[in-house]
Every structure is written in structure tokens, then in C-alpha cells.
């Protein structure tokens, strides 16, 4: 990307939860934005947002809206990405897409900057942002690659904000009614006929079930992890669970290595890893939890301990803000990689 004093940045899906945090992340990280162009569907056009203390008006997405755009951050869903990403690229923009539309395309880099930053420079106009759960898993696991990773078992505890603002509102409505109330707002597991209450509940389903018995969300953890780490045969066993938390995904992770590994070795590597904050002092009740991670771009790791029955396995607990590090923050970090190479 050519070196410039400032860049024209478009945000498609600007009025959504992740889109708003993309704009916030651009501001918080001091990204050199010359012009911010928030884009959304026609029904959201005219909405006023704030950037650097100034109002910015949302435009309806159109081919003309990408004229002169350097970087386009997309968070409007896979259908919108398939429609508009080629248009933006044709107009000269680099698209950083937060949807699942392009993640597994062989010629599209899938990037977590702390893990595989160099992959971003092999793009052909589109760079994919991984799934939120995959991002924090990779930040925590990649620093351990030199120990010889053989298998990952991961169980996620995913916040409802991963389903959008409507899910956040639905959970708050259910909580207000109490555990014995009859929910007037039925909480959707996914966009299908079956519904379950979310408040005071735990649902072992994130996204739709596939023929192999795993959900689409679980298979993202498998396939995306393999692609990011460059380990196409890596054994990943996932279980994705939705919990009544507003913001912040948690993961119980077990990593099996090629040799005997101590908790101290893992803790030392993670303590020096970019983007990782080790919080691991159980005697003082210090360990990661979603409220600790909310509003930050770091990945928190704790409860680091060797498995009771396998000296090659270490268990840990990993937490990150799913809308920031799991989406918006990571996308802006990718944008920074592009302009750093330009410099």
C-alpha cells in the first residue's frame, strides 16, 4: 500500500455492534484516517456516528461509495461481503472482511497479526478476519508452537453478543423477568424455528448443526486454526457453548505437545507473547474472566496447569472481548500491517 499521511477508510456495517467498534478501534489505536466513510444498508443511511469527537453521517453502500477508498473494513455478513468486496477491490481498496465469506478461500489470507502477520502481504485485495473464538485461541496457542503442538481440545463459553445486538437485548429482557418468569422474548439459538431461553441457562449450540454432529461454529475452530498455523492435519476437538454473558468469550483449552511440558514452560512463553496478558494467581483469585477482558484488545490466559494424567498436556483458560480482539480490534491491527509495510 502506498505510503500516505492519511488513508480513506470505509466501514461497511458501520451501525452494527462490530462496525461501531471498528470505528472506535480506529480512534483508540490512532490509525491515520484522513477520511472515514461509514457505510450501511439504505435503511441505516443518515444515521449519525461519532469519530474523534466529530459527527459522521452513514452513507448507503453503493459502487460509488468505494471510490478513493484505501482500506475497507467489512462487518455486514457473508452475503454483503460476497456482493460488495469485489466492488471495493475493483475500486482500488483492500478489503478486510470480518464475515465467513472468504476465510477458507485458498488465495485469501486468514490473519491474526500476533500469529501470522506476513500472510497479510500475500493478499489479492481481500484479507479475512478469523472467527472470534479462533482469534483468541490462536493468540494463546501459537506462542507454544516450538514445543511441538500435536492436539488441541477446546470448549468455548461464548457471549450472546456474538449473535448481535438483538441477542444482547433479548438476554437483558429475559434476565429482567427473573428465573421463574415466562420469557416474552424468546431467545433464538440461531435463525431457525427452535428457540430456548438464554437467561440462567447454557446452550451447547453455536450456529447450525452439520452432518458430522458438530456445529458450524465448531468446525470453524478446526479449519481456521489449521489454516492460520499452517498445520493442515492438526487435531482440534471443539465444543462451542453459548452462555448468558453479554461480552467476552471464554475457552477451556487443553494442548498436547510432542514431549513432556511443564506449566512453567507454557507460562513463560505466554508471558513474553505479543497480545497476551497472563493472569494466573489462583491463591489470590486472579484468573481470566469475561468482565476482565471487556473493552480491551488483549487475550487473557490463566489457570495454566499440567494435566493430571498426561505430562505432555497443559490446560489453560483463555478469555478475550469477542467484539474487539475477536473482530474489530483484530481487523484494525491488520490494516496497520498494510500501512506499516507501505512505510
Residues with a catalytic annotation lie at 132, 249
Torsion angle, alpha carbons of 310, 151, 158, 203, to 10: -80
What is the Cα–Cα distance from 43 to 95, expressed in whole angstroms? Answer: 23
Q: Map 186-231 to HEC letters.
A: CCECCCCCCECCCCCCCECCCCCECCCCCEHHHHHHHHHHHHHHCC
Helices and strands, counts by H and E, the chain = 9, 14
Task: Please answer whether residues 238 and 171 qualify as being in contact, where contact means their C-beta atoms are separated by less than 8 angstroms.
Answer: no
DSSP state of 77: -
Name residue 5's beta-bridge partners: none
Query: For residues 44 and 169, what is the distance between their CA atoms, to the nearest angstrom?
Result: 19
User: By three-state DSSP, how is residue 249 classified?
Assistant: strand
| Nearest of 335, 324, 321, 297 to residue 19 by alpha carbon | 324
Alpha carbon distance 95, 39 (integer Å): 14
Q: Using an 8 Å Cβ cutoff, are 225 and 232 in contact? A: no
Q: Is the dihedral of CA 249, 253, 258, 261 positive or negative?
A: positive
Taking CA atoms, 4 is separated from 26, 101, 222, 304, in Å, by 16, 30, 38, 44
Amino acid at each position: 500500500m502506498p505510503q500516505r499521511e492519511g488513508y480513506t477508510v470505509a466501514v461497511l456495517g458501520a451501525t452494527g455492534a462490530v462496525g461501531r467498534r471498528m470505528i472506535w478501534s480506529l480512534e483508540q489505536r490512532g490509525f491515520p484516517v484522513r477520511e472515514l466513510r461509514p457505510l450501511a444498508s439504505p435503511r441505516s443511511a443518515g444515521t449519525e456516528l461519532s469519530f474523534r469527537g466529530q459527527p459522521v453521517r452513514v452513507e448507503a453502500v453503493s459502487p460509488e461509495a468505494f471510490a478513493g477508498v484505501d482500506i475497507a473494513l467489512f462487518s455486514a455478513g457473508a452475503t454483503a461481503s460476497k456482493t460488495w468486496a469485489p466492488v471495493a477491490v475493483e475500486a482500488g481498496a483492500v478489503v478486510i472482511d470480518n464475515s465467513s465469506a472468504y476465510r477458507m478461500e485458498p488465495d485469501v489470507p486468514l490473519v491474526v497479526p500476533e500469529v501470522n502477520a506476513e500472510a497479510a502481504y500475500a493478499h489479492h485485495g481481500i484479507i479475512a478476519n478469523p472467527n472470534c473464538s479462533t482469534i483468541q485461541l490462536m493468540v494463546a496457542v501459537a506462542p507454544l508452537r516450538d514445543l511441538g503442538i500435536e492436539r488441541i481440545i477446546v470448549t468455548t463459553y461464548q457471549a450472546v453478543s456474538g449473535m448481535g445486538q438483538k441477542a444482547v437485548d433479548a438476554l437483558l429482557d429475559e434476565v429482567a423477568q427473573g428465573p421463574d418468569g415466562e420469557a416474552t422474548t424468546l431467545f433464538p439459538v440461531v435463525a431457525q424455528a427452535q428457540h430456548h431461553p438464554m437467561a440462567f441457562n447454557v446452550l451447547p449450540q453455536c450456529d447450525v448443526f452439520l452432518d458430522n454432529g458438530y456445529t458450524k461454529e465448531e468446525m470453524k475452530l478446526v479449519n481456521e486454526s489449521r489454516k492460520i498455523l499452517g498445520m493442515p492435519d492438526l487435531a482440534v476437538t471443539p465444543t462451542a457453548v453459548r452462555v448468558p454473558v453479554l461480552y467476552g468469550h471464554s475457552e477451556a483449552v487443553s494442548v498436547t505437545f510432542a514431549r513432556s511440558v511443564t506449566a512453567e514452560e507454557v507460562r513463560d512463553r505466554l508471558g513474553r507473547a505479543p497480545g497476551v496478558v497472563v493472569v494466573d494467581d489462583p491463591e489470590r483469585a486472579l484468573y481470566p474472566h469475561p468482565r476482565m477482558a471487556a473493552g480491551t484488545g488483549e487475550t487473557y490466559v490463566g489457570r495454566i496447569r499440567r494435566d493430571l494424567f498426561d505430562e505432555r498436556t497443559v490446560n489453560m483458560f483463555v478469555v478475550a472481548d469477542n467484539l474487539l480482539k475477536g473482530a474489530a480490534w483484530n481487523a484494525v491491527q491488520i490494516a496497520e500491517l498494510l500501512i506499516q509495510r507501505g512505510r
